[in-house]
Structure 1
Amino acid sequence: MMKQVFSFVFLLTFISPAMAQEDYPGERPKLVVGIVVDQMRYEYLTRYWDRYGEGGFKRLVKQGFNFKNHHFNYIPTATGPGHTSVYTGSTPSEHGIIGNEWFDVFTDTEVYCVADPAVASVGTESDAGKMSPHRLRRSTMTDELRIFNNFKGITVAVALKDRGAVLPAGYTGTAYWFHGKDEGRWVSSTYYMNELPRWVEKFNKSKTASSYRQKWKLLYDKDTYVNSNPDDTPYEQKFKGEKAPVFPHDLPGLWEENGGFDMIKSTPFGNNITTDFALAALEGEGLGEDDVTDFLAISYSSTDYVGHRYGVKAMETEDTYLRLDRDLERLLKSLDEKVGKGEYLVFLTADHGASYNPRYLEDHKMSGGFYKTSEMINGLNDFAQRRFGNAGILRYSGYGQVYLNHSVLDSMELDKEKVRRILADHLLTYDQVEKVFTVDMLRSGDLKTGIAELVQNGYNAKLSGDIFVVFSPGLLSTGYVKGGTSHGTAYVYDTHVPFLLYGKGIRQGYTSDKTVIPDIAPTISSLLGIPFPNGVKGAVRSEAYKINE
Structure 2
Amino acid sequence: MRRFYFLFTILALLCTLSMAQEKKTKPKLISTFPANVNRPKLIVGLVVDQMRWDYLYRYYSRYSNGGFKRLINEGFSAENTFIPYTPTYTACGHASIYTGSVPAINGIIGNDWYDPQSKRGVYCAEDTSVTTVGSNTKAGLMSPKNMLTTTITDELRLATNFKSKVIGISLKDRGSILPAGHSANAAYWYDGQTGDWITSSYYMKKLPAWLEDYNKIKLANKFFDKNWNTLYPIETYTQSTADNVRYEGKARGEETPTFPHPLKLYAGKNYEMIKSTPYGNTITLDFAKLAILSEDLGQGSATDFLAVSCSATDYVGHQYGPNSIEIEDTYLRLDKDLEEFFNYLDTKVGKGNYLFFLSADHGVAHAPTFMEDNKLPGGLYSDSKVIKTLNTLIEEKYNVKKAIVTSKNSQFYFDHDAVKAANADFTAIKNLAIETLKKEDEVFDAVDLNNLANETIPEQIKKAITYGYNAKRSGDIYYLLKSNYFDGGKTGTTHGSWNPYDAHIPCVFMGWNVKPGKTNKTYYMTDIAATLAAMLHIQMPSGCVGAPITELTHQ
Does the aligned pair in 1 maintain the 2:534–2:553 contact within 8 Å?
no
Does the aligned pair in 2 maintain the 1:447–1:453 contact within 8 Å?
no
Which residue is equivalent to 1:491?
A: 499
Q: Distance in 1 between matches of 2:200 and 2:46?
A: 22
> Alignment partner for residue 352 of structure 1, among 362, 366, 381?
362
Q: Distance in 1 between matches of 2:115 and 2:398?
A: 25
Which residue is equivalent to 1:278?
A: 288
Please report how far the alpha carbon of residue 372 of structure 1 lies from its aligned counterpart in structure 2 after TM superposition.
1.5
Q: Distance in 2 between matches of 1:289 and 1:505?
A: 19
Which residue is equivalent to 2:446?
A: 436
For 1:136-535, list aligned pairs within 5 A: 136-173=147-184, 174-181=186-193, 183-213=194-224, 214-255=226-267, 260-442=270-452, 449-479=459-489, 481=490, 483-535=491-543
Q: Give the stretch that moved more between structures: 210-219 or 40-49.
A: 210-219
Q: Give the stretch that moved more between structures: 167-176 or 465-474.
A: 465-474
Q: TM-score, normalised by structure 2?
A: 0.92
Q: Distance in 2 between matches of 1:11 and 1:382?
A: 82
Please report how far the alpha carbon of residue 260 of structure 1 lies from its aligned counterpart in structure 2 after TM superposition.
1.0
Aligned-residue CA RMSD (Å): 2.6
1:127 match: secondary structure: coil
Does the aligned pair in 2 maintain the 1:25–1:529 contact within 8 Å?
no
Does the aligned pair in 1 maintain the 2:401–2:418 contact within 8 Å?
no
Does the aligned pair in 2 maintain the 1:255–1:263 contact within 8 Å?
no
2:240 match: secondary structure: coil
Please report how far the alpha carbon of residue 243 of structure 1 lies from its aligned counterpart in structure 2 after TM superposition.
1.6
Does the aligned pair in 1 maintain the 2:221–2:267 contact within 8 Å?
no
Please report how far the alpha carbon of residue 386 of structure 1 lies from its aligned counterpart in structure 2 after TM superposition.
2.2
Counting matched residue pairs gives 537
CA spacing shift, 1:118–1:310, aligned 2, 3 Å: same
Q: Distance in 1 between matches of 2:56 and 2:161?
A: 38
Matched, 1:46 2:57: yes
Q: Distance in 1 between matches of 2:92 and 2:499?
A: 16
Q: Distance in 2 between matches of 1:163 and 1:58?
A: 29
Structure of higher CA gyration radius: 2
2:427 match: secondary structure: helix
Q: TM-score, normalised by structure 1?
A: 0.93
Q: Distance in 2 between matches of 1:11 and 1:166?
A: 52
Which residue is equivalent to 1:76?
A: 87
Please report how far the alpha carbon of residue 26 of structure 1 lies from its aligned counterpart in structure 2 after TM superposition.
4.8
* AA partner of residue 157 (structure 2): R
Please report how far the alpha carbon of residue 60 of structure 1 lies from its aligned counterpart in structure 2 after TM superposition.
1.1
Q: Distance in 2 between matches of 1:295 and 1:445?
A: 43
Please report how far the alpha carbon of residue 209 of structure 1 lies from its aligned counterpart in structure 2 after TM superposition.
2.8
> Alignment partner for residue 115 of structure 2, among 96, 104, 107?
104
Does the aligned pair in 2 maintain the 1:40–1:498 contact within 8 Å?
yes
CA spacing shift, 1:503–1:5, aligned 2, 3 Å: farther
Q: Identity over the aligned pairs, expressed in percent?
A: 42
Q: Distance in 2 between matches of 1:543 and 1:455?
A: 29
Q: Distance in 1 between matches of 2:123 and 2:379?
A: 28
Q: Distance in 2 between matches of 1:8 and 1:341?
A: 47
Gaps of 5+ in 2: 1-19
Q: Distance in 2 between matches of 1:245 and 1:5?
A: 88
Q: Distance in 1 between matches of 2:183 and 2:487?
A: 37
Does the aligned pair in 2 maintain the 1:155–1:169 contact within 8 Å?
yes
Does the aligned pair in 2 maintain the 1:310–1:317 contact within 8 Å?
yes
Q: Distance in 2 between matches of 1:16 and 1:423?
A: 68
Q: Distance in 1 between matches of 2:426 and 2:337?
A: 54
Q: Distance in 1 between matches of 2:110 and 2:378?
A: 24
2:386 match: secondary structure: helix
For residues 343-386 of structure 1, the C-alpha deviation after alignment (integer angstroms, 9 at most, x for no partner) is 01011000000010111101111111112111011011012112
Does the aligned pair in 2 maintain the 1:25–1:528 contact within 8 Å?
no
Gaps of 5+ in 1: none
For residues 406-441 of structure 1, the C-alpha deviation after alignment (integer angstroms, 9 at most, x for no partner) is 333334444433432332122211112111121233
1:29 match: secondary structure: coil
CA spacing shift, 1:447–1:171, aligned 2, 3 Å: farther
